[in-house]
Structure 1
Amino acid sequence: MTKQSNSFLFHVSSRGTRGGKNKDIRKNGDIPGNIFGLSLDSTMISCPLKMVQKHRSDFEGGLFYVQIDSGEKIPVVLEEIQEHPVTHMPLHIVFKRVNLLEKIEMDVPVEMIGECDVPDSNILLVRDELPIEALPSDIPEKFEIDISKLTEIGQSLTVADIIYDKSLITLQLSEEELEAPLVLLQELRAEEVEAPVEAVEATDGEASESAADEKTTENSADESAKKSE
């Protein structure tokens, strides 16, 4: 488990009560957004697009702080970043206010670490996120699971193989989900192994056809030359 530092501070600007047109905000190199939660009115903000792109990893997976203009520092978590469907450029961002003394629910990413050297194998990560409940300051940036423990085809790892502080973090999973495989070591399918060979054979076949075509063209050219003579 990787602990979030909780010290990141992100500066944003207020859009007042009217907010302004989103199109005009984006023309200035910013993106619109808002902060909601704790039964308070939603606050409309704008953020520099470049800073959102630069600090995206700081937003994901835990607690941080947002400062509107030069005002108070607000503890928040990332609720959502809306993206353009084609370019994946951030279009809108939403932060959720949190009470540091109240537990919240969040999805935490799962990351595989270590190396697995079993030949002709394929590693499948069944779930790339796990739902948890914890105080905002105890939310981890990610869960790590060590795949070097896998030594044979057919072996698997479960949530029990993740090291985390159970006194601070509660996994929101059923008994069945807790016991289900989280990582599977599978045998590489025959077609996946043979694919490069087939590609080589296809290339060789194409080369032979190309050579035959070139020879036919050369013969035709020779015959045309003889007729001309």
Structure 2
Amino acid sequence: MSKTHEIKVQRREDEGKGASRRLRHAGLIPAIVYGGDLKPVSIQLDHEEVWLAQQNEWFYSSILDLSLNGDVQKVLLRDMQRHPFKQLIMHIDFQRVNENEKLNASVPLHFVNEDKSPAGKSAEVVVTHELNEVQVSCLPKDLPEFIEVDLSALEVGNVIHLSDIKLPAGVEIPELKLGKEHDVAVVIAKHGREEAEAPAAEGETK
């Protein structure tokens, strides 16, 4: 079960590009909350608070508690627009979650014990992480902040697929229901010389 994180917001009355520009100049971020049985609501958030929060992994994969004068709505981050070169968040979209309905979300993968594995201990082996996150489906209460992938038994030639990941209770990967071809590789361990020989072999055919 994931932790929840509270972020204070205020209702936004003014709309339009001019109003959004004024908010940014005042150190605020224009945002919107939508979904569920309620109408979309325009809000504003403190830029400094959100800038610090968005540096954490949980900001992107956890249930967030948006607090409007004590009225809390549970949401997921759905979109965040950044300035192309300034350290500035331009706009944020949040989606309300229903605690009784399953949701789809991206969850980071944390790879552990690679250095203790037979593959990780060998200087001749290259271990590649093909995925860094995975799409899951679950009730909001079951949403994990991350999923741990234990690589302690990883050996040369091993491939860990989506179906090999141990999921927390109540969590599933919808993609696995689409067929075997969707059971993609998550981690691959192979000899480094295989990596080097592949480009050389391609060059010989040219």
Tell me the TM-score normalised to structure 2 length.
Answer: 0.80
Highest CA radius of gyration, 1 or 2?
Answer: 1
Q: Which residue pairs with 2:187 in the alignment?
A: 183
Once the two structures are TM-superposed, the CA of residue 33 in structure 1 deviates from its matched residue by 0.7
CA distances 1:134-183 after superposition (whole Å, capped 9, x unpaired): 1111111111112232222x2111224322235x1121113325643210
Work out which of the residue numbers 7, 27, 41 in structure 2 matches 1:10: 7
Q: Quote the RMSD (CA, aligned, Å).
A: 2.1
5+ long unaligned stretches in structure 1: 192-229
Which amino acid in the other structure matches residue 157 of structure 1? Answer: I
Corresponding position of 1:126: 130
Q: Is the 8 A contact 1:32 1:47 kept in 2?
A: yes
Identity of aligned residues (%): 25
Task: Give per-residue Cα distances to partners, 1:82-119, cap 9 Å, x unaligned.
Answer: 11223463211111111111111112122211222221
Q: Aligned to 2:152, what secondary structure does the other structure show?
A: helix
1:118 touches 1:151 (CA, 8 Å); kept in 2?
no
Unaligned ranges ≥5, structure 2:
198-206
Paired position in structure 1 for 2:35: 37
Q: Corresponding residue for 2:140?
A: 136
CA distance in 2, matches of 1:18, 1:89: 19
Aligned to 2:101: 102
Counterpart in 2 of 1:147?
151
Using the TM superposition, give the Cα deviation of residue 64 of structure 1 relative to its aligned residue in structure 2, in angstroms.
2.2
What residue is the counterpart of 1:215 in the other structure? none
How big is the shift at 1:10? 0.8
In structure 2, what is the equivalent of residue 21 of structure 1? 19
Deviation at 1:39, TM superposition (A): 4.0
Confirm or deny: 8 A CA contact 2:144 2:168 kept in the other structure: no
Structure 1-normalised TM-score? 0.73
Query: Which consecutive segments of 4 or more residues in structure 1 shift more than 6 A?
Result: none
Letter of the structure 1 residue corresponding to residue 96 of structure 2: R
Equivalent pairs counted in the alignment come to 185
